Structure 1
Amino acid sequence: MWCLKLLLPLLLIVNDVSSQWNVWVPRDISAMTDTCVVIPCTFMYPSGIRPYRGVHGIWYYGQPYPQLFPPVVFKTRTDVVHESYKGRTKMLGDLQQRNCTLLINSLGPEHSGRYYFRADLGGANIYTFPDFAELKVLERPDIDVPEEIVSDESLTLTCYAPDNCPDMSPEIEWMYTDYLPDPEFSSDYQEEGNTVVLSRTLVFTPRPVHNGQLLGCRIYYPNTTLVYERLVSLDIKYAPRSVWVNVSSEVMEGSSVTLHCEVDSNPPPRISWRFGTQELLWDTASNLSLTVDDVTPAEEGVYTCVGDNGYGTMNTSLYLAVKYPPREPVVNDTLTVLEGASLMLHCSTQGSPPPTLTWLKDGELVGAITADELSVLEIESITPQGDGQYRCLAENEHGRASSSLNITVEYAPVLLDESKCTVVREGVQCVCIATGNPEPTIEFYLPDLNVTINETEGRFNFYTHTDGQTSTGMIKLREKGERASNDGPAVNVHCSISNVYGRESVLLELQQEKKYLMAVIVGTIGGVAVIAFIIAAVRYVGHNNKKENGFPRQDVVLENPALYYSAVKKDKQNLRKKVGEDGDFQPAGSLAGMERQELNYAALELSGPREGLSGRGDDGSSYAEIKAK
């Protein structure tokens, strides 16, 4: 039956061909090992040739040229064939009918190759046809797998089994399909060029999870032990379906950190690490690590891993927090303000975690402690006590930093309580102490003498001392004339203090120092006697001089009286102590009642002695006597 089906198309071809040497064989034909194959064949020769002693034929393997001694597969004149074909080949066609169909049994892989037919019509009418049939002896089934399998797109797989052996019919089944999503199966029987192929098709929609899964096709022949199998591993292309990175992390400034990224996709993606819009690193791989050395606060932020394999893109981000101690705070510049002004001091810094900001003035806490990177200290209507150093201290768990500024408060001068005139051993000492910013200028005015004593008054040795914003001025009025009355000497000394913001003038009151009076009372009797003697001698000499000059007694005022001065400290107790250490004291009786009496005379220190008017004091200083009513 199979041979009759084969000969019908061959006869049709014979009627149509011209009278030339010609052959028809299938170009490709296949069979499974250990089975058989039928190679359909028909040939033509010129019509003018009359076969001599019938038509004979030869099948060669490999090449058509007998002179090269190719293996003989089959030969009609003799059974001398190549040993690999002994007992395996048989001519199924009738050569007289131009049918050269060949059967080969018990196929092995070594039988794969090209087969050529040679027609022998006797005499010189021998012709080897150049056309050939190429046989493929299969050890495993053929599976048609698409070059590209994409996830979520329908996939069709076809398994083929050749059916070119008349005595054996194959069957096909798919293996390992239990976990496929809704698989569909179908069979087909294809016949082309007198060759037959049986196929079994599997259709399903793969998912990424099926990547790498094994599927198998099995060919078996009923009633035989022949079974052939082939496995394929599915290469499912899918876009990145997961991108894994480190969780957000914290690192210290200056340390190193490694960020890992893994992408699940097929094929492996192009992985890139990005910081903002900047691409830091990339590679084509399934994972990629980014190492950041010597981390700085500028590298804090969002890091993104992007995976792209041409089938899709996916990314995942993490936040890298950089911890560091506070930076040196930025504060206002040093300020000079006027008393009563309102200020806002700003302090800003950076730190991670955000630092606490504390304002200190001269080491003492002022204002509130804030947990932020900006702190504002408000000072309303500043007073002179607000003058000083202000420091902003920033602290977090990793360290501290601070910055300072100075505030200078300028204000009008203020006279201090320590300003006064006091009775001392030599006479009356007047001290004027004032504070202000800029430091005050101090002037003394003696209305009775119509004299203003300041630094520009070159006739006087004027003593002043400045200590920061405090100015001190001092003069001494020395009594050298007649004894003062019991009410004490009368003083009329004005102190003027001034700076660019104001001026004030006050009359200094006379106060008797208790310490000085106590020293006078407990003075030695010898000291009192000596002082009394000196006073008597002075009065006597003065009385005689008046008589000799021939003019009555009158007051004398020097044009250039000098001031006795010494260093004065602000501390009242220190000032009194210095007064009490001057040496000997006058008797207490000679100073009784000085407070209400006018000053009869005073000894003022000069820059140099003047003839007739100068003398030497007990302490070696020069003085001149003047009288004032």
Structure 2
Amino acid sequence: MWCLKLLLPLLLIVNDVSSQWNVWVPRDISAMTNTCVVIPCTFMYPSGIRPYRGVHGIWYYGQPYPQLFPPVVFKTRTDVVHESYKGRTKMLGDLQQRNCTLLINSLGPEHSGRYYFRADLGGANIYTFPDFAELKVLEQPNIDVPEEIVSDESLTLTCYAPDNCPDMSPEIEWMYTDYLPDPEFSSDYQEEGNTVVLSRTLVFTPRPAHNGQLLGCRIYYPNTTLVYERLVSLDIKYAPRSVWVNVSSEVMEGSSVTLHCEVDSNPPPRISWRFGAQELLWDTASNLSLTVDDMTPAEEGVYTCVGDNGYGTMNTSLYLAVKYPPREPVVNDTLTVLEGASLMLHCSTQGSPPPTLTWLKDGELVGTITADELSVLEIESITPQGDGQYRCLAENEHGRASSSLNITVEYAPVLLDESKCTVVREGVQCVCIATGNPEPTIEFYLPDLNVTINETEGRYNFYTHTDGQTSTGMIKLREKGERASNDGPAVNVHCSISNIYGRESVLLELQQEKKYLMAVIVGTIGGVAVIAFIIAAVRYVGHNNKKENGFPRQDVVLENPALYYSAVKKDKQNLRKKVGEDGDFQPAGSLAGMERQELNYAALELSGPREGLSGRGDDGSSYAEIKAK
């Protein structure tokens, strides 16, 4: 009855073609293994043919040509069929009514294929229809899965079970759906081409987390042990949802570093490493590593990994810091400035981490220590003491570097306290010491004599010396008129110092030289003894001469010893050997070997006391200066 209902529409279709050989069978039909299948079939033959001894039919498997001996599935004249169909086939249709419907039981996978029907009306009226029904014997359910499943877009999956076996009706259920968000189920019964298919539909919205998850469809037949299952793995396409890279890191200059990137997406993305706008490396994969050798500070910065798989783009960045010691600082050029000027010394460098900058002057700390790549040292109203070498020292944990500059301070000359006139044995010695930049020029001026003493004036013993920014000038006033008196120097001495920034003239103060005074005291005591010895020797010689010449002996009275002393200038060196050039007393020694004429002259200058030159010693003894000319 089930088959007749299926064939009624077909009989109506072929009424208009009753004069032709024709057959109708479903092109595709399916069944589960170990179940049965009914292949609906209706055929037509020309109306002018009268079947001889009734209508017979044959079902072939694989091909329609008997001469090629295809397997016989069913034959009405005999029960001789192919071994694989013995006891499995049965003609359900009435061939006299042009119904060739076939039943096949206990299907196996080997029964899948094409089935052809051959009508036998007797005699030469035998015809094999070229149309065929293709049977698919299924071992598991069919699941309709879309070619592309996209995350966050509604997905419909349908599981199909053929229902072409009259004695068995299937049931369908979905498995492993507990993890799905809000799944929806629905069932449908479809008839198409006189075949029946039962379906069960699942609808849900997949997420990236569902990629690779399993879903299952189960077909079972109640009151039997037949169960069929199929599992599918969800291939869910989704844009990159995470891009993992190294954390920001620090590397030393000259070292190598490897940056890793992993992207979670489906399908695998095109991964690229970028430094700024520059693409360094790319590949289509789920991960990509970038190695940078011999790092330089120029390669410090933001590195970005970009993942793009056509469904979306995502990126993650890291900062790669390159550590290195400070570079040689850049400082001002060497400067020459005028006293009182204000300066700003700049020191700039680069280093990672940022270095500390320290200013040193001649090795001593000046200013403050700055933790930056720029330091400015401000000097307000610079003084001559600001002259020297300034060094900027840059330091960080990886090393140090420094640069220096020299500052030369120019200023007007300044007379130092050491400048003075001093009474010495030879007379008066005047020293003038001044500092300035450029070094000062020194002159002496004697206003009482209206005389300027410098290197061009040769009458006086003039000496000058320059040591850096310090100039020293010295004169010795030897002439008698230039000697000191009790009231001060006979001639006033002015020191004149000058350079391009100024000029100054100062009257030098007269001071006693302690060393000279001690020499006078000691020399005086020794001198008195020598003079006494000389007088005694002269008297002795005179006495002897008188005695030898027959003259009576008498003493020599020196009314003006200075005249005699001045007469022996030419032999003063002999006397100095006895008295001492620096005024210190030396023993005269024996005069026994002296020739007579060497003792014929001697003089003693006994002038009145002079301030700073004669007087009493600390012990009350008298002293006087002895001078040999």
- Give the TM-score range, shorter chain: 0.7 to 0.9
CA deviation after TM superposition for structure 1 residue 560, in Å: 34
Q: Which moved more, 1:360-369 or 1:489-498?
A: 489-498
CA deviation after TM superposition for structure 1 residue 538, in Å: 19
Q: Which moved more, 1:271-280 or 1:166-175?
A: 271-280
Q: Say if 1:620 and 1:84 are closer, same or farther in 2 by CA, change over 3 A.
A: farther
Q: Which moved more, 1:347-356 or 1:190-199?
A: 347-356
Separation (CA, whole Å) in 2 of partners of 1:524 and 1:3? 169
- Asked if structure 2 preserves the Cα contact closer than 8 Å seen for 1:460 and 1:562, the reply is no
Q: Which moved more, 1:119-128 or 1:79-88?
A: 119-128
Give CA deviations for 1:491-514 in whole Å, capped at 9, x if unaligned: 344332111101112333433322
Unmatched tracts of structure 1, length 5 or more: none
Q: Say if 1:190 and 1:509 are closer, same or farther in 2 by CA, change over 3 A.
A: same
Bigger relative CO (Cα 8 Å, ≥ 6 apart): 1
CA deviation after TM superposition for structure 1 residue 162, in Å: 0.8
Q: Say if 1:545 and 1:143 are closer, same or farther in 2 by CA, change over 3 A.
A: farther
Separation (CA, whole Å) in 1 of partners of 2:570 and 2:216? 110
Give CA deviations for 1:505-546 in whole Å, capped at 9, x if unaligned: 233343332212212322387778999999999999999999
Separation (CA, whole Å) in 2 of partners of 1:406 and 1:568? 61
Q: Say if 1:229 and 1:547 are closer, same or farther in 2 by CA, change over 3 A.
A: farther
Q: Say if 1:616 and 1:268 are closer, same or farther in 2 by CA, change over 3 A.
A: farther
- Asked if structure 2 preserves the Cα contact closer than 8 Å seen for 1:602 and 1:627, the reply is no
Q: Which moved more, 1:259-268 or 1:338-347?
A: 259-268
2:605 maps to 1:605 = yes
Give CA deviations for 1:209-267 in whole Å, capped at 9, x if unaligned: 22221111111111111111101111122222233333333333333333333332222
Separation (CA, whole Å) in 1 of partners of 2:518 and 2:162? 144
- Asked if structure 2 preserves the Cα contact closer than 8 Å seen for 1:249 and 1:321, the reply is yes
Q: Say if 1:325 and 1:570 are closer, same or farther in 2 by CA, change over 3 A.
A: farther
Structure 2 counterpart SS, 1:597: helix
- Asked if structure 1 preserves the Cα contact closer than 8 Å seen for 2:576 and 2:628, the reply is no
Give CA deviations for 1:90-138 in whole Å, capped at 9, x if unaligned: 2222222222222211111111111122222333332222211111110
Unmatched tracts of structure 2, length 5 or more: none
Structure 1 counterpart SS, 2:7: helix
CA deviation after TM superposition for structure 1 residue 208, in Å: 1.9
- Asked if structure 1 preserves the Cα contact closer than 8 Å seen for 2:118 and 2:129, the reply is yes
Separation (CA, whole Å) in 2 of partners of 1:246 and 1:348? 33
CA deviation after TM superposition for structure 1 residue 437, in Å: 0.5
Q: Which moved more, 1:556-565 or 1:93-102?
A: 556-565
Structure 1 counterpart SS, 2:258: strand
Q: Say if 1:14 and 1:520 are closer, same or farther in 2 by CA, change over 3 A.
A: same
Give CA deviations for 1:333-367 in whole Å, capped at 9, x if unaligned: 22111111112222233333333332222222222
Give CA deviations for 1:380-425 in whole Å, capped at 9, x if unaligned: 1111111112222233333333222221111001111222333333
- Asked if structure 2 preserves the Cα contact closer than 8 Å seen for 1:384 and 1:409, the reply is yes
Q: Say if 1:483 and 1:194 are closer, same or farther in 2 by CA, change over 3 A.
A: closer
Structure 2 counterpart SS, 1:458: coil
Give CA deviations for 1:301-336 in whole Å, capped at 9, x if unaligned: 333333322222233333333333333332222211
- Asked if structure 2 preserves the Cα contact closer than 8 Å seen for 1:528 and 1:587, the reply is no
Separation (CA, whole Å) in 2 of partners of 1:52 and 1:173? 53
- Asked if structure 2 preserves the Cα contact closer than 8 Å seen for 1:427 and 1:477, the reply is yes
Aligned partner of 2:242 in structure 1 is 242
Q: Say if 1:540 and 1:481 are closer, same or farther in 2 by CA, change over 3 A.
A: farther
Q: Which moved more, 1:98-107 or 1:284-293?
A: 284-293
Aligned partner of 2:354 in structure 1 is 354
Matches within 5 A, 1:265-280: 265-280=265-280
Separation (CA, whole Å) in 2 of partners of 1:5 and 1:571? 174
CA deviation after TM superposition for structure 1 residue 285, in Å: 2.5
- Asked if structure 1 preserves the Cα contact closer than 8 Å seen for 2:28 and 2:134, the reply is yes
Separation (CA, whole Å) in 2 of partners of 1:563 and 1:345? 73
Separation (CA, whole Å) in 2 of partners of 1:482 and 1:114? 153
Separation (CA, whole Å) in 1 of partners of 2:188 and 2:11? 28
Q: Say if 1:571 and 1:318 are closer, same or farther in 2 by CA, change over 3 A.
A: farther
Separation (CA, whole Å) in 1 of partners of 2:567 and 2:184? 118
Q: Say if 1:481 and 1:249 are closer, same or farther in 2 by CA, change over 3 A.
A: closer
- Asked if structure 1 preserves the Cα contact closer than 8 Å seen for 2:445 and 2:453, the reply is yes
CA deviation after TM superposition for structure 1 residue 610, in Å: 34
Aligned partner of 1:480 in structure 2 is 480
Q: Say if 1:605 and 1:403 are closer, same or farther in 2 by CA, change over 3 A.
A: farther
CA deviation after TM superposition for structure 1 residue 452, in Å: 3.6
Structure 2 counterpart SS, 1:535: helix
Q: Say if 1:485 and 1:119 are closer, same or farther in 2 by CA, change over 3 A.
A: closer
Structure 1 counterpart SS, 2:480: coil
Moved segments of 4+, more than 4 Å: 446-451, 455-462, 480-489, 524-629
Q: Which moved more, 1:197-206 or 1:123-132?
A: 123-132
CA deviation after TM superposition for structure 1 residue 442, in Å: 1.8
- Asked if structure 2 preserves the Cα contact closer than 8 Å seen for 1:270 and 1:283, the reply is yes
Give CA deviations for 1:53-101 in whole Å, capped at 9, x if unaligned: 3332222211222222222222222222221112212222222222222
Q: Say if 1:187 and 1:30 are closer, same or farther in 2 by CA, change over 3 A.
A: same
Q: Which moved more, 1:473-482 or 1:3-12?
A: 473-482
CA deviation after TM superposition for structure 1 residue 203, in Å: 0.9
2:174 maps to 1:174 = yes
Separation (CA, whole Å) in 1 of partners of 2:567 and 2:313? 89
CA deviation after TM superposition for structure 1 residue 591, in Å: 28
- Asked if structure 1 preserves the Cα contact closer than 8 Å seen for 2:273 and 2:303, the reply is yes
Q: Say if 1:4 and 1:484 are closer, same or farther in 2 by CA, change over 3 A.
A: closer
Structure 2 counterpart SS, 1:625: coil
Separation (CA, whole Å) in 1 of partners of 2:622 and 2:152? 121
- Asked if structure 2 preserves the Cα contact closer than 8 Å seen for 1:32 and 1:107, the reply is yes
Q: Say if 1:410 and 1:61 are closer, same or farther in 2 by CA, change over 3 A.
A: same
Q: Say if 1:611 and 1:469 are closer, same or farther in 2 by CA, change over 3 A.
A: closer
Structure 1 counterpart SS, 2:199: strand
2:341 maps to 1:341 = yes
Q: Say if 1:552 and 1:29 are closer, same or farther in 2 by CA, change over 3 A.
A: farther
Q: Which moved more, 1:228-237 or 1:528-537?
A: 528-537
Separation (CA, whole Å) in 2 of partners of 1:381 and 1:570? 62
CA deviation after TM superposition for structure 1 residue 140, in Å: 0.4
- Asked if structure 2 preserves the Cα contact closer than 8 Å seen for 1:479 and 1:602, the reply is no
Q: Say if 1:62 and 1:547 are closer, same or farther in 2 by CA, change over 3 A.
A: farther
CA deviation after TM superposition for structure 1 residue 567, in Å: 34
Q: Which moved more, 1:355-364 or 1:337-346?
A: 355-364
Separation (CA, whole Å) in 2 of partners of 1:398 and 1:521? 71
Q: Say if 1:185 and 1:300 are closer, same or farther in 2 by CA, change over 3 A.
A: same
- Asked if structure 2 preserves the Cα contact closer than 8 Å seen for 1:23 and 1:44, the reply is yes
Q: Say if 1:22 and 1:533 are closer, same or farther in 2 by CA, change over 3 A.
A: farther
Q: Say if 1:397 and 1:7 are closer, same or farther in 2 by CA, change over 3 A.
A: closer
Q: Normalised by the size of structure 1, how large is the TM-score?
A: 0.80
Separation (CA, whole Å) in 1 of partners of 2:569 and 2:147? 105
Q: Say if 1:38 and 1:601 are closer, same or farther in 2 by CA, change over 3 A.
A: farther
CA deviation after TM superposition for structure 1 residue 466, in Å: 1.2
Give CA deviations for 1:8-56 in whole Å, capped at 9, x if unaligned: 1232133121522222211111111111111112222233333333332
Q: Say if 1:314 and 1:542 are closer, same or farther in 2 by CA, change over 3 A.
A: farther
- Asked if structure 2 preserves the Cα contact closer than 8 Å seen for 1:489 and 1:594, the reply is no
- Asked if structure 1 preserves the Cα contact closer than 8 Å seen for 2:189 and 2:196, the reply is yes
Structure 2 counterpart SS, 1:376: strand
Q: Say if 1:484 and 1:218 are closer, same or farther in 2 by CA, change over 3 A.
A: closer
Q: Normalised by the size of structure 2, how large is the TM-score?
A: 0.80
- Asked if structure 1 preserves the Cα contact closer than 8 Å seen for 2:525 and 2:623, the reply is no
- Asked if structure 1 preserves the Cα contact closer than 8 Å seen for 2:26 and 2:193, the reply is yes
Matches within 5 A, 1:205-220: 205-220=205-220
**RMSD value over aligned CA atoms?**
10.6
Structure 2 counterpart SS, 1:524: helix
- Asked if structure 2 preserves the Cα contact closer than 8 Å seen for 1:490 and 1:597, the reply is no
Separation (CA, whole Å) in 2 of partners of 1:613 and 1:167? 160
Give CA deviations for 1:286-305 in whole Å, capped at 9, x if unaligned: 33333333333333333333
How many residues are aligned here?
A: 629
Separation (CA, whole Å) in 2 of partners of 1:511 and 1:471? 21
- Asked if structure 1 preserves the Cα contact closer than 8 Å seen for 2:423 and 2:484, the reply is no
CA deviation after TM superposition for structure 1 residue 473, in Å: 2.0
- Asked if structure 2 preserves the Cα contact closer than 8 Å seen for 1:491 and 1:510, the reply is no
CA deviation after TM superposition for structure 1 residue 624, in Å: 27
